[in-house]
């Protein structure tokens, strides 16, 4: 059945009135929830948490119950007024409440009103702290699996990669695909598959000697990174967030350009690929350590890298006595991502690690 112009207008008005009525009821619910939470009604009724109590009594999914409690705990009069008057929906109100709980100023909250829901969510993610423990947990979830097709003519693979490693992987694939001749019958995703096969072949044959992949630009929001110790406000060019572990590795290796920006994204300054180790010092360390990883029992010579024993951000310098040669696994994974530290009692050419109770260990 087709609706006339007048009927469409009436339907729109009914929709908006119903939406506004929802907002008024939600505002009433928030006031009641604050009172019930203060009265510890969940404990009195034998529920584990207030979220469980709300989900049970209101017959809601736990996510929606948690959102209502977030709004109630924020207690922001302006957000609740806009919600009650139907000017914003529940989802927007919840994200705005999370921003309030994250410590945004009134001016920042006012500017956030002009963003769509996706923009609000990105703003909230920028402010959320990425702790060292959370970054390690994300790193440990990495995996790559594959399965041959039934006719054994190929394979399918899937997985998940850690932030910076994913950035390097994507950059390598796109760069190699751009080097291929463009053909009208080849889709971009096919070129990406060809690029991956090409890079793997080069790895086995040594065909790319001298070709290196470096980290991209690191953008540091000065208003968020400094007060959080690097746990918030640090992203790659793609928007991928990085945390303290990655920053420490960047300062150690000097492999990326660090761009400092203000809260609105305006650049304040930049370093040119970090503070790299002088070539003469690098060569001296390589000769002293005989081109081998200095970890006790490690035979690997893969991507050997000088590592700062006293980290750069803690005041360490490029003196050879502050450098030791490590393979990629021990440098990138064990030290900078899993958080292990050297045992100071171990000899310089047979270094061992202190037991790290916060990770699974090497």
Contact between 127 and 101 under an 8 Å Cβ cutoff? The reply is no
Cα–Cα nearest to 358, from 181, 123, 154, 131: 131
Half-sphere exposure of 130 (CA within 13 A, CB side): 24
Q: Is 0.85 topped by the overall pTM? A: no
pLDDT (tens place) for every residue of the chain, 362 residues total: 454 556 888 888 888 888 788 888 888 899 999 999 999 988 888 888 999 999 999 999 999 999 999 999 998 998 999 888 888 888 999 999 999 988 888 888 888 888 998 999 888 888 888 888 888 888 889 999 989 888 767 889 999 988 888 888 999 999 888 877 666 667 888 889 988 988 887 787 665 333 334 456 788 888 888 888 888 888 887 777 888 887 788 777 766 778 888 877 788 877 655 567 888 999 999 999 999 999 998 888 877 889 999 887 778 889 999 999 998 888 888 888 888 889 888 898 899 988 765 543 33
Cα–Cα nearest to 325, from 294, 302, 348, 280: 294
Q: What is the DSSP letter of 343?
A: -
Q: Tell me the backbone φ, ψ of residue 201, rounded to 5 degrees.
A: -65, -40
Q: What is the DSSP letter of 322?
A: G
pLDDT value at residue 151 = 73
pLDDT value at residue 6 = 64
Task: Give me the count of residues in the chain.
Answer: 362
Residue 130 and residue 87: Cα distance in Å, rounded?
Answer: 33
**β-strands 218-221, 258-261 pairing:** parallel
Burial 230-260 (b: 16+ CB within 10 A, else e): bbbbbbbeeebbbbbbbbbbbbbbbbbbbeb
Residue 95 burial (C-beta neighbours within 10 Å; 0-12, 13-18, 19+): buried
Burial 290-299 (b: 16+ CB within 10 A, else e): eebbbbeebe
């Amino acid at each position: 059945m087709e609706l006339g112009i007048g009927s469409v207008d009436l339907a729109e008005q009914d929709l908006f009135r119903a939406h506004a009525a929802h907002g008024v009821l939600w505002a009433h619910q928030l006031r009641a929830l604050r009172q019930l939470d203060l009265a510890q009604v969940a404990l009195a009724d034998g529920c584990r948490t207030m979220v469980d109590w709300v989900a049970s009594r209101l017959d809601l999914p736990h996510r929606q119950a948690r959102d209502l409690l977030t709004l109630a705990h924020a207690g922001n009069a302006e957000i609740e007024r806009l919600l009650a008057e139907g000017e914003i929906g529940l989802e927007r109100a919840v994200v705005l409440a999370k921003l309030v709980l994250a410590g945004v100023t009134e001016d920042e909250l006012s500017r956030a009103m002009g963003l769509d829901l996706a923009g609000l969510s990105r703003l909230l993610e920028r402010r959320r702290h990425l702790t060292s423990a959370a970054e390690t947990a994300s790193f440990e979830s990495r995996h790559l699996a594959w399965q041959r097709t039934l006719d054994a003519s190929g394979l399918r693979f899937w997985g998940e990669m850690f932030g910076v490693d994913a950035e390097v992987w994507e950059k390598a694939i796109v760069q190699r695909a751009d080097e291929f001749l463009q053909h009208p019958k080849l889709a971009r995703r096919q070129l990406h598959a060809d690029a991956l096969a090409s890079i793997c072949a080069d790895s086995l044959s040594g065909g790319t000697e001298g070709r290196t992949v470096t980290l991209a630009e690191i953008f540091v929001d000065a208003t968020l990174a400094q007060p959080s110790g690097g746990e918030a406000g640090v992203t790659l060019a793609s928007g991928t967030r990085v945390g303290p572990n990655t920053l420490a590795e960047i300062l150690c290796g000097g492999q990326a350009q660090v761009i400092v920006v203000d809260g609105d994204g305006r650049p304040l300054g930049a370093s040119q690929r970090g503070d790299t180790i002088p070539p003469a010092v690098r060569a001296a360390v390589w000769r002293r350590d005989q081109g081998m990883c200095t970890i006790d029992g490690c035979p690997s010579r893969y991507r050997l890298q000088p590592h700062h024993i006293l980290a750069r951000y803690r005041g360490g310098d490029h003196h050879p006595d502050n450098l030791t040669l490590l393979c990629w696994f021990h440098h990138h994974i064990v030290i900078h991502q899993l958080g292990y530290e050297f045992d100071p009692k171990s000899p310089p050419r047979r270094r061992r690690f202190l037991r790290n109770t916060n990770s699974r260990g090497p």
